[in-house]
Amino acid sequence: MTRYSDTFSRLQKNPLALSGFIIVALLAACALFAPLIAPHDYRAINVKAVLEPPGPQHLFGTDELGRDVLSRMIYGSRISLAVGFVAIGIATVIGIILGAVAGYYGRWVDSIIMRLVDIMLCIPSFFLILAVIAFVGQSIWNIMAIIGLTSWMGVSRLVRAEFLTLKEREFVLAARASGASDFRIIFSHILPNAMAPVFVSAILGIAAAVLIESSLSFLGLGVQPPIPSWGNILTSGKDNIETAWWLSVFPGTAILLTVLGYNLLGEGLQDILNPRLKNK
């Protein structure tokens, strides 16, 4: 049995991880096939159907401009998927490089990088993101880059810890004795054996990135209308909380289920990929 088939088999036997996988898969399907799934044009304004409650014509109701909320939420899932994967991709790459260099070389290199990590951890990430957005603007690409550039510290610590453990193993010593370069040892020998916790951390990080983007959009500092985002739909719900409950309930539930799905999948994979649990 290959590593991937063994992992998938363990995933099927873990109900929490399987539940998270199903939620994440449904979110990905909504994002990828939004034009086929959405029942209406998310940009279409209908002044005759303003703040219409959920019904056969609009399953999730309409907003203050008469736009279909379900269609806007389906297209909003694209924003969540893009922000999560791009932002955490940036954070993971930075964290892997800095953590690998710190763990492999140690000494003063490790001290400098870890002090940088400590400094970044001392700064509240959300307020740092708000401050940077005030200077660079509110485009979706800026948001993804900023979230990524302020979320790499956990990955770097994980990679460093793995490198400190693995760099004295026999296969690394053999590679070093055969004349392999540091670059080859780091990226061809040690890093592939240190990726399991990084993969889990990345999945959990996607949930955090989705939550940050939704918070920024809710505050009016994230994705700007008319582009749909679960956060700016919630803003409409806040403005009409007494007359249009569906504008708060449905996007809030979508954010909750998305974050829950990624967390369940991440926690489940942590159990599956943990070598100490493989023989249980």
Residues 6+ apart with CB under 8 A from 212: 125, 126, 129, 147
Sequence ranges of the domains in the chain = 3-277
The pLDDT assigned to 179 comes to 81
Per-residue pLDDT, 1 = 44
* Beta-strand runs (E) in 129-214: none
Query: Which of helix, strand or coil describes residue 68?
Result: strand
Query: CA 202 to CA 89: how far, in whole Å?
Result: 8
Q: What is the pLDDT of residue 8?
A: 63
Q: What pLDDT is stored for residue 6 in this prediction? A: 62
pLDDT at position 4, please? Answer: 54
Run of H or E residues at 242: none
Q: Which two tokens stand for residue 239?
A: 């403005």
Residue 47 is predicted with a pLDDT of: 84
Residue holding tokens 């873990």? 14
Q: Which CATH architecture has domain 3-277?
A: Orthogonal Bundle (1.10)
pLDDT for 279 equals: 46
The pLDDT profile of the chain, 280 residues, written as one tens digit per residue, is 455 566 667 667 778 888 888 999 999 899 899 899 988 888 888 888 888 889 888 889 898 888 999 999 999 998 888 888 899 999 999 999 999 999 888 889 889 999 999 988 888 878 888 888 878 877 788 888 888 988 899 899 999 998 988 888 888 888 888 888 888 888 888 888 888 888 888 998 898 888 888 888 888 888 887 888 898 888 888 888 888 888 889 999 999 999 999 998 888 888 777 655 444 4
Contacts (Cβ under 8 Å, ≥6 apart) of 232: 217, 218, 220, 222, 223, 224, 225
Instruction: Give yes or no for a contact between 24 and 265, defined as CB atoms under 8 angstroms apart.
Output: yes
Q: What is the pLDDT of residue 146?
A: 87
